[in-house]
Amino acid sequence: MKIPLQWLKEYVKIEARPEELADRLTMGGLEVGAIEYHGKNISDVVTGKIKRVERHATKPDVLICQVDTGVKILQIVTKATNIKIGDKVPVALHGATLPSGIKIQSREMHGVESFGMLCSEVELGLSASAEGILILDKDTAVGEDIRKVLGIGGAVLDIDVLPNRTDVLSVIGVARELAAILNKKIKIPAVRVKETGADIKGAARVIVKDKDLCPRYMARVLSGVKIKQSPEWMQERLIACGMRPVNNVVDATNYVLLETGQPLHAFDLNLLKDRTVVVRRSKKGEKMITIDGETRELSDTLVIADTEKAVAVAGVMGGANTEVNASTMDILLESAYFDPRSIHRTERSLKLRTEASIRFDRGVDWDMVETALDRAAMLIADLAGGKVMKGTIDVKAGERKPKQIKLRLPRINKILGTRIKLPEVKAILGRLGFKIMGKYVLVPLFRAGDIEREIDVIEEIARIYGYGKIPTNLPDLKIRSTKDIIEKQKNRVRSMLMDAGLFEVITYSMLPKSSLEIGLAQGQPIKLLNPISDDLSTMRNSILPSLINVLSYNVNHQMDDVNIFEIGKIFYKDNKGDLKEEQVLAAVLLGKRKLEYSGPKEAADFFQLKRIVEDIMGSLGAEYELKENSLPGFHPGKSASIHKKEKLIGAFGELHPDISRKIGIDKPIYALSLQLDEVLAIKKLPPKYKEITLYPATKRDIAMIVPYQVTNRAIVSEIKTAGGELVEDVVLFDKYEGPQIEKGYYGLAYSITYRSAKRTLTDEEVNAKHDEIAGCLSKNLGVKVRK
């Protein structure tokens, strides 16, 4: 936002230099990125110092000067007689432009090359006549822009406005801030519209069909205007702010936009069908030509229309079919409040951003809608000689009331580390336009977009109070761990998996539209409206497909052993359509794992993955149950599901061969998926202790041929039931499938530990119990015990 300093001075008494003013504004929260000095059609004119003067060999009235411009010494030819060595003078460099329209070029004069021109007050547009070159003050620095030195055109502050500070996208907004920072009064001239025409009710009408997108629309009508150039002072200010002058009516609306921050638009009333404005959404396939000459296709866009066609893109740009032109006599002047989200969508849809839309998509001041309308009507009546019809059209959905925010003085001083008193707080907020009512602060409507909470009000107090006045003493801090029990548990799980030879990976939370269906995919996937790419177009509802992609990538790069895991979130829609997210642990194992740095590698299989699951669940203190199950993507008969009180919370086992074939891998792949939210931060059961027996244990092995339908869980349960108190532990240590065993069966071998807590067992007792167990297995499960 460019603000001419001279314009600011009309509202606030300013005595400081531009550089000092820029520093005060920056420290007050409005960063001034640059200071420009705008001269009237002057460019590339700098201050120089005359180093040497010689007379021309054949032309005694011609002087050849060597002039230091701060960058290099130039040779310049002149006929001026009032200069001498050491004088500081204005130097127009090669390519410079002057108010008269002359463009300076290096050229040969009287047979001597001249690389610029020394300027008088006439050339600089400062006087109608001059006796010679303008001699500057002796203390003037060499190489300075002459506009800055002479103050030609005044300084222009280029302010970098933050997205939340719409209120300072105007001269009045910056003046308001400056008055608060400098503790001065702001002088805003009263707006008084002289209404001399007929009543507006019979001249135009406004219909707002979408009040949610346009909660307020105001209009005035002016008749008998004469379109011509705007006065020079207005054109200069518009140019200084980066706008192009058009004509007196359009310039007046742009001038008020810059002055108040409220965008306006003027329509040729006679070009509006039925002299009617309709605020509505665009129709399907509707198009219009905007004032920049482009044809715009409107898609669910808020438009300003008449009874037949769209005549403007609401809040963004007017249409060519109703713009003010040389023959315009009657105008309808628009001032409105549009929904910021609607304008933002329109900007993105049309790829069109204007001075008006920048303000509308951040939210304008509700109260300024009317003030700016009257100000523009007053200016147009003055500049274009029109008559302002009596009354206004004001269509609004309701009234806006200031927010009330509770403010606590102790909280202010605790946050800032200050000892500010209540009267000073009231004074600061009053200068910013806030009102104090008891324990509450009323936020002015021009700050409604960015002041939401007490901390926002405290920030306002801090920047006006002065950051430099806030003490720099560091508060006493007590260092304490910020990790809660859930983070500690997740770290424990990570450590266990890494100790088991797995590597942690982090993958994208997005997947392609169609990905592998494996295991516990939750709910319905969530599709992204604006994905990074087609491969990342859907939020993942399972982590396993991501890990399979990582595994496939590594195998394709000659990695035979890939053992990885990830702890992350999945996202989905539940049956009600609500968005959900959950913490999930997923792991994929292929090939061998190295459990110790110097130890041998160990091939992954179902039982080792089962041991990892048992270790994790045991460390978390979770009660669970394992069941044989067939889940999507897992090998039937070689996978298990994890349940917590009958609720399915996880699965593990060998992936289905179809999955392996899809990714081109001919080895077994083992996978695990566990919903961590179900087992984290649970109340851990107290540990159970039992007395260590003094009597020795005895081990026996038992081998058997087992039908496919008989599970390991059933066998272990049968052994413990038949063995009773004498069986201390049962461990599966071997599994065999091959041609030596008939189809439909596989071989299993278990080690059974026998021990009594009361006496030493004899071989006869152990052998008898072992034979009893073998008989129960054969009778109840149909297994064939091998002798």
- Please give the Cα distance from 228 to 326 (Å, whole number): 7
Above 90 in pLDDT, residue 73?
Answer: yes
Instruction: For residue 679, give the DSSP letter.
Output: T
Q: In one letter, which amino acid is 745?
A: Y
pLDDT tens-digit readout, 59-72:
999 999 999 999 99
Which CATH number do you get for residue 646?
3.30.930.10
Which residue, chain included where needed, has tokens 């989200």? 341
Distance of CA 339 to the CA centre of its chain: 20
Identify whether residues 33 and 47 lie together within a single domain. Answer: no
Which residue, chain included where needed, has tokens 């205007």? 225
Among 189-193, 205-209, 477-481, the range with the most confident prediction by mean pLDDT is 205-209
Asked if residue 692 belongs to a domain, the reply is no
Q: In one letter, which amino acid is 262?
A: Q
Q: What confidence score (pLDDT) does residue 683 get? A: 57
Relative to beta strand 195-199, strand 387-390 is parallel
* CA 674-675-678 angle, 5° bins: 125
Asked if residue 435 belongs to a domain, the reply is yes
Asked if residue 496 belongs to a domain, the reply is yes
Q: What confidence score (pLDDT) does residue 787 get? A: 67
Identify whether residues 493 and 527 lie together within a single domain. Answer: yes
pLDDT tens-digit readout, 563-578:
999 999 999 888 888 8
- Average pLDDT score over residue span 157-172: 90
Which residue, chain included where needed, has tokens 């000689």? 385
pLDDT tens-digit readout, 608-621:
889 899 988 888 88
Q: How many residues are recorded in the chain? A: 787
- Asked whether 444 and 400 are in contact (CB, 8 A), the reply is no
The answer to which of 127-141, 287-301, 339-353 has the lowest mean pLDDT is 127-141
Q: What confidence score (pLDDT) does residue 391 get? A: 93
* CA 292-293-297 angle, 5° bins: 100
Distance of CA 152 to the CA centre of its chain: 41
Q: What confidence score (pLDDT) does residue 406 get? A: 94
Identify whether residues 520 and 637 lie together within a single domain. Answer: yes
Above 80 in pLDDT, residue 126?
Answer: no
Q: Binning pLDDT at 50, 70 and 90, where does residue 417 land? A: confident
Asked if residue 733 belongs to a domain, the reply is yes
The string of DSSP letters for 571-607 reads EEE-TTS-EEEEEEEEEEEESEEE-SSSS-EEE--HH
Identify whether residues 514 and 625 lie together within a single domain. Answer: yes
Identify whether residues 554 and 452 lie together within a single domain. Answer: no
Helices (H), 191-339: 232-240, 248-260
Q: Provide the CB-side half-sphere exposure for 507 (13 A, CA).
A: 30
Mean pLDDT of the chain: 89
Asked if residue 187 belongs to a domain, the reply is no
- Asked whether 43 and 94 are in contact (CB, 8 A), the reply is no
Give me the residues paired with residue 219 across strands: 334, 393
Above 80 in pLDDT, residue 485?
Answer: no
Distance of CA 338 to the CA centre of its chain: 22
Above 50 in pLDDT, residue 482?
Answer: no
Instruction: For residue 218, give the DSSP letter.
Output: E
Percent of the residues in the chain that have a pLDDT greater than 70, as a whole number: 95
- Picking from 423, 463, 390, 459, the residue whose alpha carbon sits closest to that of residue 197 is 390
- Average pLDDT score over residue span 226-233: 89
- Please give the Cα distance from 720 to 723 (Å, whole number): 5
Asked if residue 690 belongs to a domain, the reply is no
Identify whether residues 656 and 672 lie together within a single domain. Answer: yes
Give me the residues paired with residue 748 across strands: 704, 735
Q: Binning pLDDT at 50, 70 and 90, where does residue 115 land? A: very high
- Asked whether 221 and 197 are in contact (CB, 8 A), the reply is yes
Which CATH number do you get for residue 274?
3.50.40.10
Q: What confidence score (pLDDT) does residue 63 get? A: 95
- Residue where a domain stops, chosen among 396, 418, 451: 396
Q: Is 394 helix (H, G, I), strand (E, B) or coil?
A: strand
pLDDT tens-digit readout, 491-513:
889 999 998 889 999 999 988 87
- Asked whether 585 and 649 are in contact (CB, 8 A), the reply is no
- Asked whether 276 and 307 are in contact (CB, 8 A), the reply is yes
Q: What confidence score (pLDDT) does residue 435 get? A: 92
Q: Provide the CB-side half-sphere exposure for 254 (13 A, CA).
A: 23
- Asked whether 487 and 493 are in contact (CB, 8 A), the reply is no
Identify whether residues 549 and 599 lie together within a single domain. Answer: yes
Helices (H), 339-401: 340-350, 355-360, 368-384
Identify whether residues 379 and 412 lie together within a single domain. Answer: no
Identify whether residues 118 and 251 lie together within a single domain. Answer: no
- Average pLDDT score over residue span 352-381: 94
- 261-to-36, 264, 537 alpha-carbon distances in Å: 21, 10, 40
- Average pLDDT score over residue span 116-133: 85
pLDDT tens-digit readout, 718-749:
999 999 999 999 998 888 888 888 888 889 99
The answer to which of 149-153, 274-278, 280-284 has the lowest mean pLDDT is 149-153
Above 60 in pLDDT, residue 259?
Answer: yes
Which CATH number do you get for residue 79?
2.40.50.140
Asked if residue 476 belongs to a domain, the reply is no
Identify whether residues 34 and 47 lie together within a single domain. Answer: no
pLDDT tens-digit readout, 654-698:
988 888 888 888 889 999 999 998 888 665 555 667 777 889 999
Q: Which domain holds residue 721?
A: 698-786
- Asked whether 680 and 584 are in contact (CB, 8 A), the reply is no
Identify whether residues 444 and 495 lie together within a single domain. Answer: no
Percent of the residues in the chain that have a pLDDT greater than 90, as a whole number: 55
pLDDT tens-digit readout, 575-597:
888 888 999 999 999 988 876 55
- 576-to-29, 313, 410, 529 alpha-carbon distances in Å: 46, 38, 46, 20
Asked if residue 290 belongs to a domain, the reply is yes
The string of DSSP letters for 492-519 reads HHHHHHHHTT-EE----SEE-SS----S
- Residue where a domain stops, chosen among 615, 644, 678: 678
Which CATH number do you get for residue 436?
3.30.56.10
CB atoms within 10 A of CB 781: 17
> How many domains, the chain?
6
Identify whether residues 334 and 411 lie together within a single domain. Answer: no
Above 80 in pLDDT, residue 473?
Answer: no
